[in-house]
Chains A and B, each alone.
Chain A
Amino acid sequence: MSFRHRVRTIYGKELIDLLRDRRTLIAMLIVPIGLYPLLMLGSLQAISVQTQTLGRRAIVVGGIGGPDGAQAQMLTFIRDEYERLRAAQDQTKPATQPAEPQQDPPSRGDAARDPARSGEAGQPVDGDTSKIDEGALPPLDLTWMPCEDRDRIEALIRERGIHVGILFEGPISADPALPTRVQLWYDQEEARSATGYARLTDMFAAVEERWNAQRRRQLGVPDTFFQPFAIAGKNLASPSSVLGQILPLILVLMTITGAIYPAIDITAGERERGTLETLLVCPVPVLDLIVGKFLVVTTIAILGATLNLASVCATVYFGGFNELITTTGTGVPYGQLALILLCLVPFAVLMSAIMMAVCSYARTFKEAQNYVTPIILAVLIPGGVAALPATELTGVMLVMPVGNMVLLTRELLVGAMVRTGDLVTVLLSTTLYATAAVAAAAKVFGKESVVFADVQSLRGTFDRRLIRPSGKPSLTMALVVTALLFPGWFFLQSYLQTSRPDGADLMVLRKTFAFMPVLFVVLPALVLTYWKVDVRRTFSLSPPAMSGVLGAVLIGATSWIFAVEIGMLQDAVFGMSDIAKDSAEALEKALVSLSEPEMLLLMAVIPALSEELLFRGFLLTALRGPAGRTVSILTSAVVFAVFHFILAKLPVTFLLGALLAWVCWQTRSIWPGIIVHFLHNGIITMSTLRPSWVAWLPMEMDGQPRHLPWSVLLPGAAVFVAGCLLVQRAARRGEPPGASAPG
């Protein structure tokens, strides 16, 4: 029976088992189907109630000039016209609508669905003033706020100092054929501002209709002939509405919720029901069990996310709630739904693995629920931060677990442009966390002390006195530490760059490289020490064979040739992005003023030591054993490349990572890799920053980079191959690689 067959069998059984459970169906089907319509109808109702309340309050209108200025006078004139209309209506009202209560001003939702009722579209009339208002005109209390200029008006609206800004572009025209242009500025996100805008447009519409009716009677022209005012509304709010901001958080939370119940049921639930032992005595590896179960949890979480997304879209589409998602009213970009769902997949994988790892520790369903609660709280914090209107998908938010997914979903949901680099960073970081979480889940699920909680409790994992010394770190430990370091490193770099004073690139650089050994070496070493893992063996600190050292020198002295050529090839095919170019130029500018020893220290010595110890020491050692040579080398190379963040550098850093991992794997020592890394970085740095040193190399023509001549490439390649052969020889002389942990 193959791995696939076993996993399929477990997957099929678990899926049937879960789908037959009422609780799964409620969480997966009933909640999403019912939640969103209720949520949106509730929001609509709340907005309507709020509008009614706010409609009775004074509207603070900001405009250029004082209360006696032309702008204020024009507004007063219109308001007086409006009041006269109201007074006339009050006199005629008993005859026309004696029993009708006063109707409330149109709400935002009403306006959205029935433009004929909104002030912008004017009101249906047939030339009779008494019919202007099929409902009564509400009283209008306006307060003038003098402003110096347009910028001040905009600032006051954003600061909520005024509700609406008004700009008459020219005097109120006596010529009925020339409309007066009026701009109304407002913030749709601020309830009083939005209400104020609606009330003012209603006012203009009412006055316009009164004037039109008079003119029509005088001249006998068609209804639409005159247009005294041309109102232009300007919304200063961000494109996404309140609901547009919280919906992604709800979507993300519902994806998590979808994973919770199945994760508990197939881990703690299985133990509580006494069925776990029956599985463990079957001739099935624990890995197959966990993969089958994990795939089911992920499937349910993705199904839940899909249903949630479908429910949101159906509610918005059929309910006409576009304006509740985006203030521009453009609605959900339905074409992007597949992309949103695609982004939710690695997130569902991540949360399923976390839930399974956590729930595996629990002995009972109830205990698992207790463990899940802090996880949800931990998820809510970055999710909540991301849901704030001012938070953007930049900097550290790109790699913040959960937060990045909330932001990405929001951007996609409101149809904002998302840069490919940002999208890739979010997906790659989430995939990295998911991989670490899956490894942790597999480790926890198969752990004796966890499976038979009666034998040994959770303490066995974290209580140092109960930890047995080991020669090398587990894959789970390495992946979890790497996954935690990734956002930490990203955050540190972002923080240093944003907190720098202008022109202090050099200081940022120095601080970055000062923190690198702390994060890449000291922290993993502390983790290793706490869990009693042999630090020396993990970091592969044993001395290498002489041929390995010699090979490393030859490889390091020539690898830059290939880096240059690959970089040029890449630029020719894909072009060099402005960001990459700017970043390279800024780095070069900062470094060029340094002395040569400091240049080498920052660019060659520190990265060579720190990165080798983390990626080729800690990570590669953990990968030996569980994974074969190729998988280990490629995995460590991918992680090494991802840690460099810049997409344009990805191919070169990946290839360099693979080369360094191969050297370490073959020589079973960290030192040859450090030599290669140091020489590679050192030569590239010095040739870039001290071009006079390599003036003999024709690397540029007319200011443009050019390929290296064959007279350099061929001997360089020969030396490189000779270095590889020597490294290979070092492997043959030593212990067979992969036979046991390095030491």
Chain B
Amino acid sequence: MVLADKLTKAFPTADGEKRAVDELSFRVGAGEIYGLLGPNGAGKTTTLRMLSGMITPTGGSATLAGFDVAAHPFEVKRILGFLTANTGLYQRLTPRELLTYFAELHGRERREATARADELIDWLDMHEFAHLRCGSLSTGQRQRVNIGRVLIADPPILIMDEPTLGLDVLSNRLILDFIRRAGQDGKTILLSTHYLDEAETLCHRIGFLHHGRLMAEGTLGELRQRTGEQRLSNIFLKLAAEGDGAAVLHRPTGAPVS
């Protein structure tokens, strides 16, 4: 469903260039929840932005449901929902107006867009505040509006960049429930997070990113077996220490990349 093949993003610097993502290859199967883990500056956000068509790769390729992100960015965006914890809302629009707007941007006619917005308002139980301006909503209510926005085109693939970062317990719970429910509904989810416990409970497979490269990937069991550590945080620390010492410790065991 999601396939990255030697995906690279280099930014020019005064000395030459800096590779934020360096020949990254991995695959996420249909209906799978894949966790992308790594410290700050590892290249997670850049990877997700490339996969969602927001920025262009400088090398390699990536496809979502068979669509190349560089060649067919709009097809990719049609089958994609993108969410981060920092995603804002238009403060002066109501949730109903906002959802209708995004439905229209996804190609629906006004009447269809309004119907889809109402459907999501029902589903996410937003009736109480659907007519209020987003600027006056609580954090939890805003997160629900954001989830509605992500689901507006009912996308089969969800990309989430640290979706719970800085949220309170209730909002955090709301997002995690949503991810779990979306996974059960068969959506393919690519999740980047700092919270290792979240990855441990949610993800089918996990990839460790360090200095723009994939150090290791696999199920939690595979990673435990490989490192001899039980806790994900310890697995991560061990891999990172080895990675700093000797470039890439281990080639991914995941998908064959061709």
Contacts and interface: CB of A to CB of B under 8 A. Distances in A.
Contact of A6 (B91, B97, B105): B105
Nearest to A455: B11
A448 B56 contact: yes
A466 B14 CA distance: 6
A17 B98 CA distance: 10
A455 B21 CA distance: 12
A121 B102 CA distance: 70
A455 B84 CA distance: 17
Nearest to B113: A9
A522 interface: no
Contacts of A468: 12
- Contact-residue size bin, chain B (C-beta under 8 Å from the other chain): 35 or more
B93 interface: yes
Interface in B6-60: 11-14, 20, 46, 49, 52-56
A463 interface: yes
Contact of A448 (B55, B90, B97): B55
A277 interface: yes
Contacts of A463: 14
Interface in B39-85: 46, 49, 52-56, 74-75, 77-78, 80, 82, 84
A128 to B, nearest CB: 71
A402 B89 CA distance: 37
B103 to A, nearest CB: 10
Contacts of A285: 74
A709 interface: no
A310 B206 CA distance: 64
A397 B10 CA distance: 47
Contact of B12 (A21, A273, A277, A467): A467
Contacts of A280: 54
Interface string A524-542: 0000000000000000000
Contacts of A9: 101, 104-105
A281 B12 contact: no
A45 interface: no
A277 B106 contact: no
A282 B77 contact: yes
A103 interface: no
Given A9-B104, A463-B14, A281 B53 contact: yes
B88 A273 contact: yes
A4 interface: no
Contact of A1 (B11, B12, B90, B107): B107
Interface string A241-277: 0000000000000000000000000000000011101
B78 A283 contact: yes
Contacts of B88: 273-275, 278
Contact of A274 (B11, B78, B86, B102): B86
B146 to A, nearest CB: 8
Contacts of B234: none
Interface string A113-128: 0000000000000000
Nearest to A459: B14
Interface string A4-42: 011001100100110011000000000000000000000
A281 B82 contact: yes
Contacts of B90: 13, 17, 273, 275
Interface residues of A, number: 33
**Interface centre among B20, B52, B87, B93, by most A CB within 10 Å?**
B87
A460 interface: yes
Contacts of B13: 465-466
Contacts of B231: none
A9 B109 CA distance: 10
Contacts of B101: 9, 13
B106 A282 contact: yes
Contacts of A697: none
B12 A460 contact: yes
B70 to A, nearest CB: 13
B149 interface: yes
A452 B49 contact: yes
A191 B45 CA distance: 67
Contacts of B86: 274
A456 interface: yes
A21 B56 CA distance: 35
Nearest to B101: A13
Interface string A462-473: 010111100000
Given A6-B105, A17-B90, A275-B90, A281 B52 contact: yes
Contacts of A456: 11-12
Contact of B92 (A17, A281, A452, A460): A17
Interface string A402-422: 000000000000000000000
A284 interface: yes
A465 B17 CA distance: 10
A6 B56 CA distance: 23
Given A452-B49, A455-B46, A281 B104 contact: no
A639 to B, nearest CB: 31
Nearest to A273: B88
Interface string A499-513: 000000000000000
A277 B87 contact: yes
Contacts of A13: 90, 93, 97, 101
Nearest to B18: A456
Given A17-B90, A20-B92, A468-B12, A278 B102 contact: yes
Given A278-B102, A282-B106, A466-B13, A16 B55 contact: no
Contact of B77 (A1, A281, A452): A281
Contacts of A466: 12-14
B132 to A, nearest CB: 13
A283 B79 CA distance: 9
A171 to B, nearest CB: 78
Nearest to A1: B107
Contact of A17 (B82, B93, B149): B93
Contact of B105 (A283, A448, A451, A465): A283
Nearest to B107: A1
A467 B13 CA distance: 9
Interface in A277-323: 277-285
Interface in A134-171: none
Interface string B154-165: 000000000000
Contact of B102 (A5, A6, A282, A451): A282
A278 B133 CA distance: 18
Interface in A452-498: 452, 455-456, 460, 463, 465-468
B43 to A, nearest CB: 11
Contact of B93 (A1, A5, A16): A16
**Interface centre among B46, B49, B80, by most A CB within 10 Å?**
B49
A455 B74 contact: no
A465 B49 CA distance: 25
B107 A283 contact: yes
10 contacts: A6-B105, A274-B86, A281-B52, A281-B54, A282-B102, A283-B78, A283-B107, A455-B20, A455-B46, A465-B13
Of all A-B residue pairs in the complex, the 8 with the closest CB atoms, nearest first, are A274-B88, A273-B88, A283-B77, A281-B82, A20-B92, A283-B74, A282-B105, A1-B107
Given A9-B101, A9-B105, A466-B14, 6 more contacts: A13-B97, A13-B101, A281-B52, A451-B54, A452-B54, A463-B14
Interface of B: 11-14, 20, 46, 49, 52-56, 74-75, 77-78, 80, 82, 84, 86-93, 97, 101-102, 104-107, 133, 149
